[in-house]
Amino acid sequence: MFWKAIVRCTVVLGVLCSPSLTLANSCPTTTVNNLIGTSCSIGDVNFGFLNASEDSFVGISASAISFAPDGSNPLAPSFTLTGPFTETANSSNSGFANQEFNFFWNLSVTNSLFQINSSTATIFDASLPNSPDFGFLNAGNNLGFSNAILQTGGPNTNPSTVAIPASVLNLPDGFFGAVSATAIPGDVATTSAGSMELQYQLVPVSVPVPEPPSRSLISVAMLAAVAVSLLRRSVA
């Protein structure tokens, strides 16, 4: 019975002390304009969205972009953006159409046992015009330059995954998206994307391994043990 009690206590302590992530998902499903200037979390990553003066939206408004968080995997919290990500180039706009947006946030991990290691950017349901017309899609984050790039004629990268340097983790991150189309005279070219996603990957914080005792300390300990042994013999 005694050993069973010890095993039970060990199991309980293991559960209580093992590293775990919170499953909080306080970021709402909403449009980007409602997030600007607010703070919320997805999984164990906290987002402090900056004010509108720090952001830029060209050819598309923040209120037209939907934001859907996903904290179902706390080790890989993500969000998906959807909107009218489509541009058509023709003679009415001189053969060029473009939209781009960039909004920023400060980020932190709310559980000190974990840290952000990398990020992945993905473009879904992409459509690009054929050459000689040209289409370009870009989606990714400002921190670590994890950009997914799709363009007519390539080279194309989708998704794109990069490690985030620890030296820049204290800087604001942000999402950059771009959709553009270029048509030769007489043609119509359309570039579009169904959605764009940014995902962070978290890993356990590395714990330094204690260095073994130095030789001098071992020597002192051995001498002390010998001295104690000799003292006992002399007393006896």
Q: What is the pLDDT of residue 213?
A: 52
Looking at residue 171, the DSSP 8-state letter turns out to be S
Q: What is the pLDDT of residue 166?
A: 85
Number of neighbours of residue 169 by Cβ within 10 angstroms: 15
- How would residue 123 be classed by pLDDT, with cut points 50, 70 and 90? very high
Please state which of the ranges 138-142, 144-148, 183-187 shows the lowest mean pLDDT. 144-148
Which tokens hold the place of 217?
């300390």
Q: Is 60 exceeded by the pLDDT of residue 18?
A: no
Q: What is the mean pLDDT of the chain?
A: 84
Q: What is the pLDDT of residue 12?
A: 38
Helix, strand, coil proportions of the chain in percent (round to 5)? 20, 40, 35
Domain ranges of the chain: 23-204
Instruction: Tell me the CB-side half-sphere exposure of residue 141, using CA atoms within 13 A.
Output: 31
Cα separation, 7 vs 16, in Å, equals 14
N-term to C-term CA, the chain: 42
- Residue-wise pLDDT tens digits, 74-91: 899 999 999 999 999 999
Q: Is 90 exceeded by the pLDDT of residue 21?
A: no
Q: Is 70 exceeded by the pLDDT of residue 10?
A: no
- How would residue 145 be classed by pLDDT, with cut points 50, 70 and 90? confident
Q: What is the pLDDT of residue 161?
A: 93
3-state SS assignment for residue 132: coil
- How would residue 168 be classed by pLDDT, with cut points 50, 70 and 90? confident
pTM of the model: 0.78
- Residue-wise pLDDT tens digits, 176-220: 999 999 999 999 999 999 999 999 999 999 765 555 554 444 454
- How would residue 17 be classed by pLDDT, with cut points 50, 70 and 90? very low
**Cβ proximity of 34 and 28 under 8 Å:** yes
Cα separation, 74 vs 201, in Å, equals 9
Helix residue ranges, H only, 66-173: none
Per the model's pLDDT, the better-predicted residue between 66 and 210 turns out to be 66
**Cα-based torsion angle of the residue sequence 210, 214, 218, 220 in order, rounded to the nearest 10 degrees:** -120
Residue of 179, 178, 189, 92 lying closest to 133 (CA atoms): 189
Question: Taking residues 112-136, what's their average pLDDT?
Answer: 96
- How would residue 169 be classed by pLDDT, with cut points 50, 70 and 90? confident
